[in-house]
Structure 1
Amino acid sequence: MAKASADIRGAAHLPEQPGQAFRSLRRVAFEVEHQHPVTAVMTAPVVTIGADEFLFHAIATMRRLDIRHLPAVDGAGALVGVLRLKDALFETDHRLMEEIDALAGDGGLAGLGAVKAGLGTIAGRLLADGIPVPEIQALLTEVNNDVIRRVTGLVLEDMAASGPGAPPVEFSVIVMGSGGRGENFIHPDQDNGLILADYPDGAHDSVDGWFMEFADRLTLALDRAGFPLCKGHVMATNPVWRKTVSQWKAQVNIWVATRSAATLGFCDILFDFRSVWGRAALARELRRHVLHTVADNPSFLRDLAAESETAGVALGFFDRFILVRDDQPHKGTLNLKQSAALPLIEAVRIIALREGVEALSTLGRMDALAEAGYLDRDEHDYLVGAYHHLCWLILRHQVAAARDGQEVSYYVAPERLTRREKDILVDGLRAIRRFRERVRAELTGDIF
């Protein structure tokens, strides 16, 4: 799939309107004295795109804002080029233009909800075109995160206009889980939190009161836009997930020292976090603290690995599939998330933490571990292949369920798989099981 970049920072706040560029040019030519500075006529702030973004999303953004050019920047914010809408459209499969326009939305919650609702159709079209599933997941994640950014902007505008006013301190909205790893499927729920800049203790009541109100409005607005409320309350409304950066660091220290089942579960949720709005430096500061704290604590990693053993691989004696029990919902099916993908994701995360790997995606972490020599060529190949196959099976199942109006889930009936698909799945689950056994042996000394 063609890529062109669109890290659309602050898209919800951009002032660019239809005809604005022409009006600015007209003012330069006819209305402004030649001695006036550029700032008198320029459009600001400038919409930019990141150099690694999908062309798909860049086109949607330009069409939504009715602009024809986007400066492309690198990770440091330096200009590396300019994307022209005309050139982007020329490179794009015209069969996708209807779906691309759906990503533009109308800016309100209803329009953003329509964007979310259309992701199943877009994913199905890309899957049918043979786009690798991790690339589709990356696109779904970026669209979802862009919706979160735009909803955040709407909530902030509403609070500024309705009484609470502007934020009392800088902050970052973070997403966790698959959203943080860039591995969304079609219908993720909310896993979000807030990192606040530090402020004086005496201001706690007023500052936290503002962010309590903001968190309530944000999570309800996201629910209306198509992100269901998290049943486990992993949301900014929960004070566990809403703290200053110093409070976050102290909480991580407590979790790592305590190592109860609950705190290990919290760590498992948090460690894939990513900033999607606001002051990203706060998230980077917390990320550095997490990596430093965890890498120097082998006993914590051992306990985290032991806790992750509860998510076993769905492969039993004689390599027969372990299916959901008859007394459970979805009986007779394979849970490809809980009993296949998660065991790999968690084991890779644990070793990545130990090795100080900063990558967040599962594939990125495996690549980094291979580059560092931890994974040899064959083991890396098996695990990457297993991950690709699992994600392909899950997304194909979810696309079909969404198309047919059925529940979108991770439960797949084995009889719906071809013999070849089953053989590849068994090989992949074997590789995951071997890797987990290796991780357990390294961290615990237990080889059985």
Structure 2
Amino acid sequence: MPNQVSRRIYDFLKDLPPFSFVKEEGALLQVAGRVEVQYQPIGSIIFRPGEPPRERFFLVKEGAVELFAVNEGEERLIERFGEGEVFGIRPLLAEDEYLFLARSAEETLLYAINTEGFRELLPNYPELSSYLATLMAGSTRSALQVKARQAPALIEKENLGGPDLLDLQTIHRAREPISCQASDRIITAAKLMSEHNIGSIIIVDKKERPVGIITDRDLRQKVATGIKSNQELVVEIMQSPVICIPPSITVADVQIEMMRHKINHVVQTEDGTDKTPLTGVISKHDLLVKQGNNPAILIREIARSQSATELRVLRERAERLLSLYLSREVSISFITTVMTQINDEIIRKCIKLSLARMQADGRGNPPALFDWLALGSQGRGEQLLRTDQDNALIFEDVPEARYPAVKDYFLQLSSYATEFLNDVGFAYCPGDMMASNPNWCLSVSKWQSQFSHWMHVNTPESMLHTSIFFDFRGVWGDGSLPAKLTAHIFSNLEKPSQRFLSSLALAALDNPSPLTFFRNFVVERSGEHKDQFDLKARAMRPLTDAARVLMLEARQGSVNNTFRRYELMAKLEPQNAELYQAAAEAYEVLIRLRATMGLRRNDSGRYLKPSELSRMQRLLLRNSFGPVKETQSLLETRFQLNFLR
């Protein structure tokens, strides 16, 4: 009869993979009876690279263990294992030496599982064998072991100054791809992945052109769970189409593709399309092996943080990364993508912390579906610095009798969230354009009514709110609620809407050319910022306002970012493509300048003293005013604004 300790261990193991595949209680009790319980103080080394395999693999009972790649004495975090997660499994199947350093990140209790006793179960439990083979074939740990060996050949160094600049390097040779045919069975693909210790396999046609990809996650979710048989064809579980890249591409561009498509692998082909043969494959972890100060690592740490204090430190790290990017002239497109991802993750974490506080207050779970709307520069994906907040909250329609209580819940939630954001460094909005304001925490139908009012009552106040709220972007929910709001706006535009668009265009002309007759900068004449140039109001806002009205007129609601709006307009209106491209480039110059000055002075970068600019900065700034003036002239002609003045 098993003792009480064995029974407690059994109860913990039985619901966790891979132990959950052992269906016979007696067999799993035998495993539990041979488990060694190990206490590891914080900082304890569990195994080191190069050590021979132990007779045990490990399960975290309590605490956390971190896995590091070690190169010339430098440690790089690869993975963190929490309660219920297995690590050190390679010796169980491969009987290989350890390639990584495992260290307890906090006080930790481990269950050390006897490999010999556990290995005896494999012939009797095919599902267990399949799961372990799948885990071994493509788990993050196994994939990284190969990539760590291959890393020197993956990226060609270009003497860019340090490890933080690896994203600027060019990938001339991706990892050698392993592929199979679309007519192959899943078990064939899994065996190939296991033999080569890789996390993905590319499916190709008879001409070696990529048609799909299978990752370790696909095997775990679709095969190990029993949803699909390993005897079915690979096309049953592959992801298709694949995202392709050309033979020579920078790490930064690869990161953009991965962020944009929310994927972990890209495929390299002869010409960067799926119409030519496969030449290589790159995974997110291929990049992480080479990068320590990587935005993906920052985002992962944000997701794991537990307080606003931690978030503030991580956002400060992001600003150091931003400063590095700016100093090395990294493209603004890449910079805004990275910083928006970081800001979005911070917002989501603040909402999670706020939901936890609501639970602690006894308020329970949200009473309705909701989404958090980022507005202004963050809504447009352009907020590089920690400027003040602009946000709102939208929740699904509920019966009128429930509305006060539901709104009260979300107002309190918003109050907590904006407080957390303020603690991180995103200051409260002076104009109270925040979700904690009852005016900006509304149901779908009430938001629709509010937008209709702004569109039909064209007062200066309505135009101000339009400039802030019409660039909304959902960052919390599934996107369905913001989509309803977008559909409502375009539905209103189907009605006679020239007056609204004309009023919007007229508002975009409120700030004329930023140069005086003598080609000096127009500066503030009085107040706190006397003799300073207002970069936001005089140069950036005219371009954002013009882009917004042009997109509304074109009925395009899928793009918020200003310079990407101009790039889209260049495609929609080829006759104005040169102007729109110039406007996009000018806006990128302005964003870069504002971020650079803001980081230098530790402020918003909005106000500049012309004397503090370098000669090149003055020239670039002055040149950006041309597209501002020309874009305003286009609006004036298109909407016949002379008749409205």
TM-score > 0.5 by shorter chain = yes
Could you tell me how far 1:101 is from its partner in structure 2?
Answer: 5.2
In the alignment, is residue 436 of structure 1 matched against residue 632 of structure 2? yes
Report the equivalent of 1:9. none
Match of 1:315 in 2: 515
State the distance in 2 between where 1:375 and 1:107 align: 52
Q: Residue 442 of structure 2 aligns to a residue in which SS?
A: strand
Instruction: Tell me the equivalent position of 1:6.
Output: none
In the other structure, the counterpart of 2:82 is 17
Which has a greater percent of strand? Answer: 2
Q: Is the aligned partner of 1:121 residue 2:320?
A: yes
Q: Aligned pair in 2 of structure 1 residues 360, 413: CA closer, same or farther (>3 Å)?
A: same
SS in structure 2 at match of 1:194: strand
Higher relative contact order (CA 8 A, sep 6+): 1
- After superposition, the Cα gap between the structure-2 partners of 1:84 and 1:382, relative to the gap in structure 1 and judged at 3 Å, is closer
Q: Distance in 1 between matches of 2:295 and 2:547?
A: 38
Decide whether the 8 Å contact of 1:170 with 1:279 is kept in 2.
no
Partner SS for 1:201: coil
Amino acid at match of 1:305: A
Query: Structure 2: how far apart are the matches of 1:421 and 1:272?
Result: 29
The corresponding residue for 1:357 is 556
CA drift at 1:330: 2.3
Aligned equivalents of 2:457, 2:334: Cα separation in 1: 38
Among 319, 332, 337, which residue is 2:536 paired with? Answer: 337
Report the secondary structure of 1:277's partner residue.
coil
Structure 1 residues 295 and 146, CA, compared in 2 at 3 Å: closer, same or farther? Answer: farther
Aligned partner (choices 433, 439, 443) of residue 240 of structure 1: 439
Q: What aligned pairs does 1:19-418 form with structure 2 within 5 A after superposition?
A: 20-22=85-87, 34=125, 86-92=285-291, 94=292, 96=293, 104-105=301-302, 106-294=305-493, 296=495, 297-325=497-525, 327-358=526-557, 359-373=559-573, 376-402=576-602, 407-418=603-614
Supply the distance in 2 between the matched residues of 1:76 and 1:134 (Cα, whole angstroms): 15
**Offset of residue 399 of structure 1:** 1.9
Deviation at 1:36, TM superposition (A): 7.2
3-state SS of paired residue (1:328): coil
* CA spacing shift, 1:306–1:221, aligned 2, 3 Å: same
SS in 2 for 1:350: helix
How far the C-alpha of 1:130 sits from its partner, in A, is 2.0
Q: Percent identity?
A: 24
How many residue pairs get matched?
Answer: 407
Q: Return 5+ residue gaps in structure 2 as ranges.
A: 1-79, 93-112, 141-165, 168-198, 200-214, 218-256, 267-280
Tell whether the 8 Å contact from 2:371 to 2:394 is kept in structure 1 after alignment.
yes
Aligned to 1:427: 623
SS at match of 2:474: strand
Q: For 1:425, give the aligned amino acid.
A: L
> What is the CA-CA distance between 1:418 and the residue it aligns to?
3.4
Secondary structure of 1:376's partner? helix
Letter in 1 for 2:521: F
Q: What is the distance in 1 between the residues matched to 2:484 and 2:572? A: 24
Cα distance in 2 for partners of 1:133, 1:229 equals 26
Larger radius of gyration: 2
TM-score of the aligned structures, taking structure 1 as reference length: 0.80
The structure in which a higher percent of residues are helix is 1
Q: What is the CA-CA distance between 1:266 and the residue it aligns to?
A: 1.2
Cα deviation, residue 223, structure 1? 1.2
Structure 1 residues 148 and 414, CA, compared in 2 at 3 Å: closer, same or farther? same
Q: Distance in 2 between matches of 1:423 and 1:77?
A: 38
Q: Work out the CA distance in 2 between the residues paired with 1:314 and 1:382.
A: 17
Q: Cα deviations across residues 256-311 of structure 1 (Å, max 9, x unaligned)?
A: 11122212211111111101112311111211222332364110011122233333
When residues 287 and 110 of structure 1 are mapped into structure 2, their CA distance, relative to the original with a 3 A threshold, is same
Q: Gapped runs of 5+ residues in structure 1?
A: 1-14, 48-54, 57-67
Q: Shift of residue 193 of structure 1? A: 0.9
Per mean C-alpha deviation after superposition, the further-off stretch among 274-283 and 287-296 is: 287-296
| Amino acid in structure 1 at the alignment position of 2:623 | D
- Residue identity matched to 2:348: R
Following superposition, the deviation at residue 313 of structure 1 comes to: 3.5
Q: In terms of mean alpha carbon deviation, does 78-87 or 421-430 score higher?
A: 78-87
